[in-house]
Chain A
């Protein structure tokens, strides 16, 4: 690599930063709090991609970077690396979460029913300067809902998933180890969980459209769930399990036809989950999860292509590194070009 250390320019750098801050102003505490209250999906996206659930810090990161989300994610990731690991939470079980939205596109009458929860999915997409009239509050839905996939398991359409006895310390951890291929399933799900929302959507959409001509996956959304999950920890001395707080959590499952289950045709499940509520990313990610091991050459069907190119910090960082001085590499290219041109002129 033709890099060379560039010295000098400190004053210019300080001025550039000061100019940035002067243009964007310093957001006050009240604004940060308002970000948390009124733009939770923005915070969710940054926290999910940053893999750090900390709404106050996410608001600060968004404000400090003037709303440049890749930079905000980078700030959260960097902060995350400075934090000691204190404990492993107990595994989350979707049926035990405080679930506010759980829908299925596979069946209307899923056990527990369709619960729309908080959503703009079924509203008019028009700008509304005035607050629309409020519908009177209906009767509250239940707090907990079973998994739609469990229903398929009961009917034999999906294989039974035995409980995984792996201790938490032995689960492969993408934040501690490099991503190697073929990736362990834990790494794949972790990578999708903190993947760039736009990147996952682009590749997921390419798969949905069947771009390569190899045939799109066209899965069915089996379940989309938005929930508040308790972070349950085991007390280090008493051993009692207690809740350290709630996080916004979302997950999506898609099913594709057909995979052999116990010697009979059955369904294949794609899954994705993340911190925060981010439905479009999860549906695309779950579809990619189901499609990622197909033998054809579609980029969205290759685990390495999908996971490497949807990593937001690496991708944005690599892209913007091209702004840094490449004087030597470019100078050398120009030298070669000039030599070739003068040789051509001689001939």
Chain B
């Protein structure tokens, strides 16, 4: 019988958490690890990623994934949102009407309870979700410019929650309002 390895089980767990996070935007899902665990669950030989973090880059290259410029990346692992990271977000692909799946997935590290209050509405949300993610207002104005469903990028916002992490997703289908 084929028995999955501990690493595979972890990857499957992370993948399911991301799936639930995207299905229920704004609601936290537990993760066993941070950006590296997310990358392990999502990346393989045929995916392109961008990250400014050299250690993450080494780890992802070992998976066989290809490092790429932000504009060519399928996945961006940006960590904290500094000037360079914002520039990467601005360049991240949003897909085309024929191939909307070409839009990127962007993983960031945020902090709930801080920063602007966001009102989320849309598929997977019962009425509305109010949340503070600790991410700067400039990100949300950038999102308003770049994201127009079905085009745009999907956002994964991670934060440490010892002993693990939490992830919240804001897929492109969400209507987001800074309150």
Contacts and interface: CB of A to CB of B under 8 A. Distances in A.
Contacts of B15: 82
A86 B64 contact: yes
B44 interface: yes
B45 A86 contact: yes
B1 interface: yes
A176 interface: yes
Contact of B44 (A56, A84, A236): A84
A115 interface: no
Closest 8 CB pairs of A and B: A84-B44, A85-B45, A85-B44, A85-B46, A56-B2, A86-B45, A56-B1, A86-B64
A126 to B, nearest CB: 37
Interface string B32-67: 000000000001111000000000000000011000
Given A84-B44, A88-B45, 4 more contacts: A56-B1, A57-B2, A84-B11, A87-B64
B74 to A, nearest CB: 12
Nearest to A177: B99
Interface string A64-94: 0000000000000000001011111000000
18 contacts: A29-B1, A56-B1, A56-B2, A57-B2, A82-B12, A82-B15, A84-B11, A84-B44, A84-B45, A85-B44, A85-B45, A86-B45, A86-B64, A87-B45, A88-B45, A169-B45, A169-B46, A236-B64
Interface in A285-336: none
Contacts of A54: 2
A86 B44 contact: yes
Contacts of B11: 84
Contacts of A86: 44-45, 64
Contacts of B43: 84
A29 to B, nearest CB: 7
Interface in B1-48: 1-2, 11-12, 15, 43-46
Interface in A39-60: 54, 56-57
Nearest to A88: B45
A20 B58 CA distance: 49
A67 to B, nearest CB: 20
Contacts of B44: 84-86
Contacts of A82: 12, 15
Interface string A116-154: 000000000000000000000000000000000000000
Nearest to A236: B64
Contacts of A176: 46
Contacts of B2: 54, 56-57
A54 B12 CA distance: 19
Contacts of B63: 84
Contacts of B64: 85-87, 236
Nearest to A168: B45
A319 to B, nearest CB: 27
Contacts of B12: 82
Contacts of A56: 1-2
A57 B15 CA distance: 21
A150 to B, nearest CB: 32
Contacts of A57: 2
A90 to B, nearest CB: 15
Contacts of A236: 64
B6 to A, nearest CB: 16
Contacts of A169: 45-46
B123 to A, nearest CB: 13
Interface string B163-174: 000000000000
A53 to B, nearest CB: 12
Contacts of B45: 84-88, 169
Nearest to A54: B2
A46 B44 CA distance: 26
Contacts of A29: 1
A29 B12 CA distance: 24
A85 to B, nearest CB: 4
Nearest to A84: B44
Nearest to A83: B44
A20 B38 CA distance: 38
A7 B63 CA distance: 42
A236 B12 CA distance: 24
B21 to A, nearest CB: 17
Nearest to A29: B1
Contacts of A87: 45, 64
A85 B45 CA distance: 6
A248 to B, nearest CB: 18
A320 B113 CA distance: 49
A87 B15 CA distance: 21
A54 B1 CA distance: 11
